[in-house]
Amino acid sequence: MKCFKTRHCAYYFIFVGIFLLFPFSLFKYTNYVLFLVNMGAIGVIGASGLNILKGYTGVISLSQAAFMGVGAYTVAILSTKEGLPFWINLPAAGAITAIVGVVAGTPSLRLKGFYLAMATLATQFLLEYVFKNWESMTRGVQGLFITPPQIFRVHMNNDWVFYFFVVPLAFVAVLCTRNLLRTKVGRAFTAIRDRDIAAELIGINVFKYKLISFAISSFYAGVAGGLWCYYMTIINPEAFTLLVSIDYIAMVIVGGMGTIMGPVYGAIFIILLPEFIQRVMEVLQPIFRMTYTFEAFKHIVFGFTIVIFLMFEPKGLSEIFSRMGRRIAKWRRKEVREKGGY
């Protein structure tokens, strides 16, 4: 019962409360907002995976979308052809994607930095090719239809049901990441990222740990892909392109590489930013009477935001928030001192 004494526990209760009550508080736009939140949660899982690979192990991967595709197709095939339930399919998707990830990671034995990134780029395109052409399994470009599983007799792709399913999963993913980094494995990762030659010297088998990193990160991507599959109910190769991989990289960077909450902030930001731009543009549109060019402006603003962000705060949103947190703490301490406290 140590928990009840600390302040942290109160925070947890508040969080859980907000989580449970949130959908009910949206009177008007429930499905739409839940959709955004759900996509954000999937993004958190995928981005956390990528963060492990990039932020903590220092491997640049441009193939996260393809790995998600592997997970999505696994779930689709297992549920349509074998009729397996979701609590087998999702972990299976993660496992199979992890295996693919390890195979894709073998170039890392000899490659570093940019060249490794290019190898992952090749993986992305090769996997896309497989999705499009291994027709006996994936039905190629026509894609696969899924009937989403039912939880308590409601289909999973109902926005409400999915919300209560995926947001806790996202939370679990972040928690797992945090715990992972406290283990020997996690410390090995950061050692490799910072100075891999030195790491090798002190006895860390760099190649083995890089492969483990690929495996874990791909597991996350596979699960995220499987969830996506259940939510969209149709998957085809066009959903897992390089542009999506780039989105994930943007999430990791904007959120803050190598931090635990980074992927969360990043995923939320990247999902919400286009919506925000859209709203602003809608308000401005009658004033400026732009018509078809205003869509292009969204592209420009998105690009600008990314560039400005990286120019002025390369450590990402998590740095901004922790700075704000530190300032608040300092201000509070000052206040307390002024009032004659400790």
Partner 1 sequence: MKKLFRFLVLVSLGLVAISAHAGEIPVGIYGTLTGTDVDVNGMSYGPKDYLTYVNEKFGGVMGHKYVPILLDGKNSIPEEVKVFKRLVDVDKVVVVNGWSTGGTKALRDQINILVKIPFQAQSFSIDVLDPVKYPYIFLMGPTYEDQVLIALEWAKQKGAKTIAFLHADIEYGRAPVRNAMEQKIPEKLGLKVLADIEYAGVSLDLTPQLLRIKELNPDYVYIQDSAGNTIKILRDAAKVGVPASKFFGNNYNFQHIIPGTLGKDAEGFKALQVNADWGANIPMMKEIEEFAKKHEIAKKDAYYTKGWAQGKIIHEVVSRVLKKTGGKIPEIGQFRTMIRDEWVNLENFDTGGGTPPLTYKNHQGHSEARIVEIKGGKFVTISDWIKTQ
Partner 2 sequence: MELLVQVMIAGITIGSIYSLIAIGVVLIFKSSGVINFAQGSMAMIGAFIAYSFVTQLGVPIVFSLLITFLIAAAIGIVIERFVLRYLTGASLLSIIIVTLGITFIMDGGALAVWGSSNFTFPKLFPAFSLELGGIKVPSVYLWSFITAMVLLVIFLLFFKYSKMGLAMRASADNQKVAIALGISSRKVLSLTWIIASIVATGGGILLASISALHVNLSYIGLIVFPVIIIGGLDSIAGATVGGLIVGVLEAISGVYIAPHLGGAFQQVAAYLLLLIILMVKPYGLFGAKTIERL
- Work out whether 64 is an interface residue with partner 1 (CB under 8 A): no
Q: What is the DSSP string of 191-221?
A: HHHH-HHHHHHTT--HHHHHHHHHHHHHHHH
Place of tokens 């993986």: 123
Residue type present at position 132: K
- Work out whether 48 is an interface residue with partner 1 (CB under 8 A): no
- Work out whether 335 is an interface residue with partner 1 (CB under 8 A): no
How far apart are the C-alpha atoms of 24 and 30, rounded to whole Å? 8
- Work out whether 136 is an interface residue with partner 2 (CB under 8 A): no
How far apart are the C-alpha atoms of 13 and 272, rounded to whole Å? 26
Task: Report the half-sphere exposure of 318 (CA within 13 A, side-chain side).
Answer: 18
Residues 13-52, one symbol each (x = binds partner 2 by CB under 8 A, - = not), give ----------------------------------------
Smallest separation, CB 87 to partner 1 (Å): 22
The count of residues in the chain is 342
Q: For partner 2, which is the closer residue by CB, 42 or 250?
A: 250
- Work out whether 113 is an interface residue with partner 2 (CB under 8 A): yes
- Work out whether 288 is an interface residue with partner 2 (CB under 8 A): no
Residue of 212, 239, 253, 267 interacting with partner 2 (CB under 8 A): 253
The footprint of partner 2 on residues 175-234 (CB under 8 A) is 195, 197-198
Residue type present at position 300: I
Burial of 259 (0-12, 13-18, 19+ CB in 10 A): buried
Smallest separation, CB 260 to partner 2 (Å): 18
How far apart are the C-alpha atoms of 37 and 83, rounded to whole Å? 28
How far apart are the C-alpha atoms of 152 and 34, rounded to whole Å? 19
Q: State how far Cα 68 lies from the chain centre.
A: 10
Residue of 169, 181, 272, 298 interacting with partner 2 (CB under 8 A): 298
Residues that bind partner 2 (CB under 8 A): 54, 60, 107, 110-115, 117-119, 121-123, 125-126, 128-129, 132-133, 195, 197-198, 242, 246, 249-250, 253, 257, 292-293, 295-307, 310-312, 314
Residues that bind partner 1 (CB under 8 A): 28-32, 35-36, 39, 132, 140-143, 145, 155, 157-158, 232-234, 236, 238-239, 276, 278-280, 282-283, 291-292, 295-296, 298-299, 324
